[in-house]
Amino acid sequence: KSAVYMEGVSYKYPDSDTPALRDINFEADFGELVLLVGPSGCGKSTFARIFNGLIPNFYGGELTGRISIAGLDPRKTPTPKFAGLVGFMFQNPENQLFFNSVERELAFGLENLGIPPEEIRRRVDETLKEYGLEELRHRSPFELSGGQQQKVALASVMVMKPRILILDEPTANLDPLSAMRTLGIVAKKTREYNMLTILIEHRLEIALQFATRVVVMLDGRIVADGDPLDTVSKA
Ligand code: ADP
Ligand code: ADP
């Protein structure tokens, strides 16, 4: 059974006459790092919002077709049920930072899942180290640079060890070297935790080094799907 299965999936935002997604067929397994590409407005973020139930639970609208996200149908599942399962990083990190220290930011989700304090400390320490954030642990995320905020946002998603990881332009505020390093960690974790990672990323030259598969979207549809270099050269 696949990690994610979609068949004939279409979606319309509540106040819109044109569908943002049209007849999407998509199946993926744990361990894959799927790079999602296509012009602005083609539906990448919309597609990603199905994975954590924001569509339809938060955005509303009309979602049709067959959908299984690790066995869950977002139309029949309250959003909090996705919390331990699907990690999601938005384009603007400041929208997902809430606390007055980096350390609290990382611990919060784990506390919510009821993980014992001892393990929370261990996982937070380990993750801070991995993302080079140890020096910033007592700082307020709101005082950090855009790139540092992006790292904190990613670390606070990764510390949860989600089975499915959705990253919407996780390197937008990073310099090329940090971008390379961050996507390297993402690829390593995808293998190590056997996650399914869906990556929306404009830096193709970097992302293609790490993707195991590329999906090309155009006008709400998937128009190409396959091996990274083949798929990009055909699109
Ligand atoms: P991008 O093209 O980089 O995905 P946009 O600038 O299109 O980003 O969108 C930024 C935000 O505005 C997103 O959260 C998106 O959901 C929202 N948005 C985009 N288009 C519309 C729209 N037609 N109506 C309402 N919100 C929209
Ligand atoms: P991408 O991420 O590829 O830039 P989006 O998924 O943001 O594309 O947008 C797909 C389409 O859905 C666009 O036409 C956009 O204007 C529209 N859209 C995005 N967010 C919203 C929203 N919250 N409400 C209405 N329309 C939206």
Q: List, in order, residues 6 or more apart from 233 with CB less than 8 Å away.
A: none
Q: How far apart are CA 88 and CA 78, in angstroms?
A: 16
**Phi/psi at 150 (5° precision):** -65, -40
- Is 106's C-beta closer than 6 angstroms to any atom of ligand 2? no
**Phi/psi at 185 (5° precision):** -65, -45
Ligand 1 atom with least separation from CA of 40: 2
- Is 71's C-beta closer than 6 angstroms to any atom of ligand 1? no
Q: How far apart are CA 9 and CA 183, in angstroms?
A: 29
DSSP state of 85: T
- Is 171's C-beta closer than 6 angstroms to any atom of ligand 1? no
Residue nearest to atom 15 of ligand 1 (CA): 45
pTM attached to this predicted model: 0.87
What's the CA-to-centroid distance between 172 and ligand 1, angstroms? 16
- Is 233's C-beta closer than 6 angstroms to any atom of ligand 2? no
Q: What burial class does residue 5 get, using C-beta atoms within 10 Å of its C-beta: 0-12 exposed, 13-18 middle, 19+ buried?
A: middle
For 3, 18, 32, 86, the CA distances from 196, given in Å and listed in that order, are 7, 30, 5, 9
Contact 133, 102 (CB under 8 A): yes
- Is 20's C-beta closer than 6 angstroms to any atom of ligand 2? yes
Ligand 2 atom with least separation from CA of 38: 3
- Is 215's C-beta closer than 6 angstroms to any atom of ligand 2? no
215 alpha carbon, closest ligand: 2
ipTM: 0.77
Ligand 2 atom with least separation from CA of 13: 25
Contact 226, 59 (CB under 8 A): no
In order along its 235 residues, the chain shows pLDDT tens digits of: 799 999 999 999 999 999 999 999 999 999 999 999 999 999 999 999 999 999 999 999 999 999 999 999 999 998 888 888 999 998 777 788 889 999 999 999 999 889 999 999 999 999 999 989 999 999 999 999 988 999 999 999 999 999 999 999 999 888 999 899 899 999 999 999 999 999 999 999 999 999 999 999 999 999 999 998 888 887 7
Q: How far apart are CA 60 and CA 66, in angstroms?
A: 17
Q: 63, 82, 78: which is closest to 23 by C-alpha?
A: 63
